[in-house]
Structure 1
């Protein structure tokens, strides 16, 4: 396995493991999590509620027990689109490649414990893709306008970072283009910055500081301010067990959801130039706080609560790209793969191959343009 393959598989498998561990604690406070599990969560645990099928009728999902959630299902579906198209993607690829997979292909959905359409598992903000693109025939570049602004578009953008390895600016713009079909405002911005973070982490010898610097260089408005505030707060902390409250305090003024995660404020999830989703800044804060240690960053996200699965997905993807597959604990990989009945490493291999193809194509394009530019800029009629 070469370093590109190692990092690509680490990123995608790392995201899946983080997602599965975080799913068990999503929506709860740190205090509730510790009370339920008798202390900090340190690995795969069971559902928070034993009556998971009926406790929340709008979301009858078997979270926990190593089950991946919609974060990973969407990530893998996007990988399939890349594999089919063998090129860079845009909003039209979402309409023509991703949406048909959401409504036309049955597959095993761990949280439903059955074969089902991906649409059956998606949250309302992701079902928006089907309503707008398949039924509404909206221009894909504009379909995200009007959707609630949340982390739904960002959560599955790790593949964009992998295929644009070491080119975070290209990853940022590709993710921004793709997610025009899904989100707007700071939800879309977070998607671009997360893809850039993964692309930066793919570089040989990349560090957490370099990843954060890349994010700050590309991010705009409230997203940039939130990342700066949370990472600054994280820099003074040494342990997520004591540092998580500082991360929450730093991001709170940028977060529209409010203090009660399951009871969003009336102004929640509306477009804004001063706000940010909570998940990405906190994931980057945990990256800084833990020095990029995969296990600690993911456990920090899991025990943070609130949108724990998406925070852990993002932290897991970035740390997995930094450290490669070996950074993701083998026991967790085995448990999640078995419980979810899915190969969490295969999509990374697909992306590594495609990243190599795209890099070679880009080299050819650059050489051809340079040669053409030299001809174009040569003195007309030769030297005088």
Structure 2
């Protein structure tokens, strides 16, 4: 695939001078803002979104059912909208806290030893509940699976994801893995596959690896939307690779998301097991397969191309796509944020989301930047030790 570059935000803007700190901040803040923008319209179609809002969503909006959000189905009892982040951000920040504890690369055992206790024993402010509660009380059933399998079932962490529904649950919070492995997408892919093994299997686990790789690739100096997609295609396997290629081939022909919405959905549909009615999944939904893919990752990458890497255009395209658009916007927001830093994210959106969600959106970035630097130093020392040992073993050539 050789996607064309639409008239992009990044066309005349080099990303080479952005520091690690700026890219990590851009990715984590960008993911949270994308999540908050997508939350209130999650599950609806582009047509329903346009009808409800009198046109496309262009910023932060209120709950779908207005003041009736506490009781209106199928959303109740969650206050989605008004700048509230969802479980995508709650899980992302939880993974950052695990990195902050371990201070090194993570694996499936890190999920069992640190992420599970964080989810089930430490109350935090939950924006959608407007209350302090355990994160376990908010996360979706596919994420509760982690606690069920690891805490109650005592499963091998490396295999705990087997049997769970296959969805984007792991991919939606894997950006931190890409950031700790900034500019090394191959390492990000491998680490994310290990971490996600405690949560997902099949193409859900694969999506987690590819998303982490995309974020790591976006941190590379001189990275572009096309280079990020190219990296993903080089690493992705089976249906995930085929879906990314199909969607991005279509996306490359558009520079505005409005005209791309239907063609992109048509391109991903053959790989999506959920089916046309997002709230009424098909009988074959979310089952392991080598032929299928989650919908969210290919669409996020496609919107990155349509938006030319511009944060606002990329994320608004993701939001107005509908369906699981909070996760799509979380993923595309993380990648676009890593490409261009927080400077590319509308400041008013950042402030509204931080205030409404009662979150310090910058604190996780500071922690993860420290961990990324420490981990790189350890990696360099480990690499030098290996080089020395191998040289001794191999002898002179």
Correspondence for 1:15: 31
Correspondence for 2:51: 35
Measured in 2, the distance between the counterparts of 1:2 and 1:316 equals 17
Correspondence for 1:375: 392
Match for residue 238 of structure 1 among 255, 271, 275: 255
Deviation string 1:223-281 (CA, Å, 9 cap, x unpaired) is 00000000000011120011111111100000000000000011100000000000000
Match for residue 177 of structure 1 among 188, 194, 198: 194
**1:48 pairs with 2:54:** no
**1:193 pairs with 2:210:** yes
- Counterpart contact for 2:108–2:158, Cα < 8 Å: yes
**1:259 pairs with 2:281:** no
Correspondence for 1:328: 345
- Counterpart contact for 1:9–1:346, Cα < 8 Å: no
Measured in 2, the distance between the counterparts of 1:347 and 1:204 equals 23
List gaps (5 residues or longer) in structure 1: none
> Given the superposition, is the C-alpha separation of residues 260 and 2 from structure 1 closer, same or farther in structure 2, using an over 3 Å criterion?
closer
Aligned-residue offset at 1:203 = 1.1
Measured in 2, the distance between the counterparts of 1:310 and 1:69 equals 9
Match for residue 121 of structure 2 among 97, 104, 109: 104
Aligned-residue offset at 1:56 = 2.7
Measured in 1, the distance between the counterparts of 2:375 and 2:162 equals 30
Measured in 2, the distance between the counterparts of 1:140 and 1:207 equals 36
Matches within 5 A, 1:209-248: 209-248=226-265
Aligned-residue offset at 1:310 = 0.1
Match for residue 279 of structure 1 among 290, 296, 302: 296
**1:347 pairs with 2:352:** no
- Counterpart contact for 1:17–1:313, Cα < 8 Å: yes
State TM-score, norm by structure 1. Answer: 0.97
Measured in 1, the distance between the counterparts of 2:373 and 2:214 equals 19
Match for residue 95 of structure 2 among 60, 65, 78: 78
Deviation string 1:194-230 (CA, Å, 9 cap, x unpaired) is 0000000011111111100110010000000000000
Aligned-residue offset at 1:377 = 2.0
Q: Secondary structure at the match of 2:21?
A: helix
Deviation string 1:38-76 (CA, Å, 9 cap, x unpaired) is 111100000011322222368521001000000000000
Aligned-residue offset at 1:354 = 1.1
Q: Secondary structure at the match of 1:358?
A: helix
Matches within 5 A, 1:286-301: 286-301=303-318
Correspondence for 2:9: none
Structure 1 runs of 4+ off > 2 angstroms?
56-59
Deviation string 1:162-198 (CA, Å, 9 cap, x unpaired) is 0000110110011100111111000000000000000
How many residues of Structure 1 are paired with residues of Structure 2 in the alignment?
380
- Counterpart contact for 1:8–1:348, Cα < 8 Å: yes
Q: Secondary structure at the match of 1:108?
A: strand
State TM-score, norm by structure 2. Answer: 0.94
Measured in 2, the distance between the counterparts of 1:205 and 1:324 equals 13
Deviates most, 346-355 or 18-27: 346-355
